[in-house]
Amino acid sequence: MAIRLGSTVINCTDLDTMSRFWCAALGLRPVSEDSDFRLLRGPYVNLSLQRSSTPVSARDQMHLDLYADDQQHEVARLVGLGARFVRHVDDDPADDWVVLTDPEGNLFCVCAKPAAEVRDPGVRAGTTGAGPAA
């Protein structure tokens, strides 16, 4: 394929606070220190921060879904880094997520998605991928 997603860009007013938060949250490192744009790079994903003159004031048009093997642990860790809890949606065991905001109010979700399920969508928790659990 000749095209691929290079980075997701989040508009923000405080590049330093947002860089610290997202680097700690996703194990990224800044590879640029521009005053208006910052690229954060990791082994599996790039995230970019772009300076905006206005803070988040309305519902985001897009958001990040972070997949976690241990959702409860990751939510607690992210809140400890400065995220704020919004709500937990767990009415369907196969589709469980927690909505958080980053330090500037951008929404993102922490989804209960084991790594094996992400690599092979046919695999569900408690199965081997060869069919339904016994």
Q: Please, what are the domains in the chain? A: 8-119 (3.10.180.10)
Q: What is the pLDDT of residues 19-43, one digit of tens each?
A: 999 999 999 999 988 889 999 999 8
Only one residue has tokens 């949250």, namely 25
Q: What are phi and psi of 24, to 5 degrees?
A: -70, -40
Which among 50, 70, 87 is positioned nearest to 40, based on CA atoms? 50
Model confidence pTM above 0.85 = no
Q: What is the pLDDT of residues 58-85, one digit of tens each?
A: 766 678 999 999 999 999 999 999 999 9
Whether residue 78 contacts residue 61, with contact meaning beta carbons closer than 8 Å, is answered with no
Q: What are phi and psi of 19, to 5 degrees?
A: -65, -45
Q: How far apart are CA 22 and CA 34, in angstroms?
A: 17
